[in-house]
């Protein structure tokens, strides 16, 4: 009998750091149906439900994939509740509130010729153990039919909006002038409606009907210049955007300087009065150096590992628990001490940090640049080499991890290595306190590089030098 792992081997559509990803050409109706069947059967082993929520991003292939998923659910006797094109965290909130599973069709920030599936248990994201159970699930033969998606259920959209209107209050952002970089984000209309309902003046920019793969962790040179130009032209308090599926924020200060995602997370966690944090190893060391938190634990990169870290903190008796990633996605593991009515939502969310940071600008009378300037001055930068075979990057790290001197020479690092961290990839602390972190992407054939230094200019120089050397091995 066929198992999901057999389908993965044949199709190349595999689990990454967050969900399953693959080429659109490989995400056939049959492959999507196989993943859906394995997911439903795995969930039925632990939960009772008769509905599964489905939502999509704005990629051209997403509706067709959602239909394949809905077809399989129907054949399993499960109703597919179609929530339309909404941000991933809006789907997660809807499913969690009703204690039903959810499937989000999205490839997040990766190129439009790829797509993927994110899976939600009735109580949150699936874990790595859930993925393992899905791999071993025995699949029954079921033909995919042309099931039509049900009319859009608007509740997921409306409840997600109301969650943040309740946080900031009607007109809570009155007096702020914001630019909204819409591109092809699935949350672009929701974000405009939300910020406007909170009283802000919103200028919408660069809406695109073709898919634009915005990576909040590797902002393009073009978008860097756009941010600076827009800030000068429109004189705004901030520029707001998200990635394709609306779970990672992209926020600039009033000068048009894009804030790093881990700095966004740090400021958000402080404003929420969070005491205990779980963050990936790639995040800025200003988190610990700030002294804002009672406990910070470092995890592997990917929301499942951050969630496991939050669960570890909660199991140890911690309250006021949250996590965030270097891409800016914020995960609320428990009600906030500052906003007790804000229910936990342990999945990456872009709207929470946007609303909280803008509320801080209004209430404190402090521009975002001022808030950032008060933090320990450690600066991170990151980018990736695309079309770098995963097998090649993994082989390089395996070789270099046992011979650091060869790595130092190969990458022309400016100082010797004082500390090596292999939590996820290869993270090197140099004797100068500079940090260089290399890691193959879990979602695409990309080799990522993260660096940390004492200034923006120094971090960018270190990043560019490292990537130039690294590209020679592609």
Active-site residues, by number, are 108
| Token pair for 441 | 């992407």
- 187 with 223: CB under 8 angstroms? no
Q: Which residue has the tokens 């309902």?
A: 197
In DSSP notation, 228-278 reads: HHHHHHH--SEEEEE-TTSSSEEEE-TTSPBPPHHHHHHHHHHHTT--EEE
Q: Phi/psi of residue 470, each to 5°?
A: -65, -35
Q: Which residue has the tokens 């938190």?
A: 293
Residue 73 to residue 69: CA distance in whole angstroms: 6
Distance between CA atoms of residues 52 and 185, nearest Å = 24
Q: Please give the biggest Cα pair distance in the chain.
A: 64
Contact between residue 343 and residue 335 where contact means Cβ atoms under 8 Å apart: yes
d(C-alpha 49, C-alpha 173), whole Å: 39
Give the DSSP H or E segment for 309: helix 303-315
Contact, 2 vs 135, CB < 8 A?
no
């Amino acid at each position: 009998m066929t198992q999901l792992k057999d389908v993965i081997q044949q199709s190349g559509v595999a689990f990454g750091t967050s969900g399953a990803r693959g080429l659109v050409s490989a995400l056939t109706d049959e492959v999507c149906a196989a993943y859906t069947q394995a997911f439903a059967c795995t969930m039925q082993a632990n939960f009772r439900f008769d509905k599964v929520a489905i939502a999509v991003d704005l990629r051209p292939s997403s509706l067709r994939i959602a239909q394949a998923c809905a077809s399989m659910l129907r054949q399993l006797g499960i109703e597919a509740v179609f929530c339309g094109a909404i941000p991933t965290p809006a789907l997660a909130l809807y499913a969690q509130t009703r204690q039903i599973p959810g499937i989000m069709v999205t490839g997040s920030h990766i190129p439009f010729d790829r797509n993927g599936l994110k899976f939600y248990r009735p109580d949150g994201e699936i874990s790595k153990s859930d993925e393992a159970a899905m791999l071993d699930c025995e699949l029954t033969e079921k033909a995919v039919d042309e099931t039509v998606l049900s009319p859009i259920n608007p509740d997921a959209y409306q409840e997600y909006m109301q969650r943040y209107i309740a946080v900031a209050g009607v007109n809570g952002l009155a007096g702020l002038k914001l630019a909204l970089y819409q591109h092809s984000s699935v949350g672009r209309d929701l974000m405009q409606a939300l910020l406007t309902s909170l009283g802000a003046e919103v200028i919408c920019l660069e809406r695109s009907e073709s898919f634009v793969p915005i990576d909040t962790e590797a902002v393009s040179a073009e978008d860097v210049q756009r941010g600076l130009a827009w800030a000068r032209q429109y004189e705004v308090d901030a520029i707001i955007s998200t990635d394709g599926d609306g779970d990672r924020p992209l926020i600039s200060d009033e000068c048009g300087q894009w804030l790093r995602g881990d700095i966004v997370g740090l400021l958000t966690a402080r404003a929420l009065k969070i005491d205990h944090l779980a963050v990936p190893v790639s995040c800025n060391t200003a988190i610990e150096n700030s002294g804002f938190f009672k406990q910070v634990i470092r995890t592997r990169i990917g929301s499942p590992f951050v969630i496991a870290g939050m669960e570890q903190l909660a199991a140890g008796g911690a309250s006021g628990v949250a996590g965030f990633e270097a891409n800016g996605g914020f995960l609320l593991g428990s009600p906030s001490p500052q906003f007790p009515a804000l229910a936990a939502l342990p999945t990456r969310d872009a709207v929470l940090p946007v609303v909280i940071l803008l509320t801080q600008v209004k209430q404190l009378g402090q521009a975002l640049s001022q808030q950032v300037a008060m933090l320990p001055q450690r600066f991170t930068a990151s980018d990736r080499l695309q079309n770098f075979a995963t097998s090649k990057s993994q082989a390089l790290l395996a070789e270099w991890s046992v011979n650091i001197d060869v790595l130092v020479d190969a990458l022309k690092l400016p100082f010797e290595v004082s500390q090596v961290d292999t939590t996820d990839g290869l993270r090197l602390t140099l004797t100068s306190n500079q940090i260089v972190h290399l890691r193959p992407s879990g979602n695409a054939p990309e080799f990522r590089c993260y660096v940390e230094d004492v200034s923006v200019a120094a971090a960018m120089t270190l990043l560019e030098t490292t990537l130039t050397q690294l590209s020679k091995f592609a």
